[in-house]
A and B are shown apart, each in its own frame.
Chain A
Amino acid sequence: MKKILFYISVLLVSISVSSSAADSIMVQDAWVRSAPPNAKALAAYMKIINTSAEQRALISASSSRFGRVEMHKSEMHEGIMKMIPQKQLTVPAGGSLLLKPMSYHLMLMKPVSVPREGDLVDFDLRFDDGTVLHLRVPVRAAKSGRMMKSHD
């Protein structure tokens, strides 16, 4: 009897884990744009995928390498590029949100030291359902037409 109860409780725990959002939110192709050694701010880009049936929102991000990480969107208004801080980044149910140059990005400010190409930068992304994703994100240069050409 005790044994059966034990198995039931194990089952319940495993159900509660799998029904939490732990794997319904994922990050793909994350990268930090490499920057000059004296850069005062950097940017990180990625694709955030939400496989759950509910909308999720990224509510904060942090990194041990930066004093401050914000969520921003670069946006054009009457010929002027603006960086607009975002309170949260919404990822639709069963959909994704792309952070990319000239659009949504994580704004990395107050670098402890500016990471170099090839370094891995740790991030904690916190979502509105309590999920925290721990990432290690590579630093690389932005792809340019020229660089793509030199690869072939």
Chain B
Amino acid sequence: MDDKERDRNMSVKTGIRNFIMMGVLLLLAGFWLGKSKNSVPDIRELDFPSATVYEIPVPLPRFSLTDDGGQEFNEWNLSRKWTFMFFGYTFCPDVCPTALVDLNDVYNNLLEKGDLIEKKFKVPTQFVFVSVDPGRDTPEDLKEYMNYFNEEFIGVTGASGMIDRLARPMGAAYRRVPGTDDEGDYFIDHSASFLLIDPLGRLRASFPPPHDPGQMADDFRNIRNEFTAECCLPYQDTEQVIFDYRKEKK
């Protein structure tokens, strides 16, 4: 009786020991798998879950557009600022308002934490909506439209050739498609990503939809922490924009 019980106790004990050992092995395997996964190096995506960050920022060509106050808006308006840019049009009732509400959430997230201006180099953040529909969106239209979402947002438009010039290197494609009535109405298919332009006027990141404004704001803070210095340090006293001269052949 006693022996039998001891035997049983022993086998329970070895059972438990085996169980624990297997657990440890599984844990180790887990660590190893996790590690090998992390060592696949898309660090950028791990750091910035809502953004695609360009290791080599994309310089933009010179351009000249008009803002919603009737003033010229060109590459210098991108200098020494971080710029969120979105391409759309006011005839768009679904995608563009959704995007502008999301951008407003990003703005408010930064505002509430006193983060609209980068602290070390005093680099402000601006939000620019580029209308790809200059035929229907006048600067005055844009002003009223933008004010509805956020008075600080800047509406910009201009000659379609200029809009193309700015949009193309950023991969912000758009295309006019005829509407369904016979009155010449049209819709415009367009990119729904937010583009982030660095203080040297270079495309640094894009935020593809669907957008999570809280995550975007956090990622923006991290991107800004990582890249503001390289845009500002050597040029602290001079305004500077880097152009893509390859695209400047006249």
Contacts and interface: CB of A to CB of B under 8 A. Distances in A.
Interface stretch (B8-16, B26-34, B94-102): B94-102
A109 interface: yes
Per DSSP, are chain A's interface residues mostly helix, strand or loop, or mixed?
Answer: strand
B49 interface: no
A144 B102 contact: yes
A60 B129 CA distance: 33
Given A145-B213, A146-B108, A35 B148 contact: yes
B204 to A, nearest CB: 18
A102 B101 contact: no
B148 A42 contact: no
Contacts of B192: 76, 79-81
Contact of A144 (B177, B210, B213): B213
A33 B180 contact: no
Interface in B93-127: 93-95, 97-98, 101-102, 104-105, 108-109
A80 B190 contact: yes
B105 A145 contact: yes
B226 interface: no
Interface in A36-80: 36-43, 68, 70, 72, 74, 76-77, 79-80
Contacts of B95: 74, 81, 83, 102
A25 B233 CA distance: 64
Contacts of B214: 145
A102 B209 CA distance: 10
Nearest to A41: B93
A38 B209 contact: no
B235 interface: no
Interface residues of A, number: 33
Given A81-B192, A102-B209, A144-B101, A36 B148 contact: yes
A42 B192 CA distance: 18
Contacts of B145: 36, 38-39
Interface string B63-102: 0000000000000000000000000001111110110011
Interface in B189-230: 189-193, 208-210, 213-214
B93 A108 contact: yes
Contact of B94 (A77, A80, A101): A101
A85 interface: yes
B35 interface: no
Interface string B141-178: 10011011100000000000000000000010111010
13 contacts: A36-B147, A36-B148, A41-B91, A41-B92, A81-B191, A81-B192, A83-B92, A101-B98, A102-B94, A102-B210, A144-B102, A145-B105, A146-B109
Interface of B: 90-95, 97-98, 101-102, 104-105, 108-109, 136, 141, 144-145, 147-149, 171, 173-175, 177, 179-181, 185, 187, 189-193, 208-210, 213-214
Would you list the 6 A-B pairs with minimal beta carbon distance, nearest first? A36-B148, A43-B93, A81-B192, A41-B93, A82-B189, A81-B95
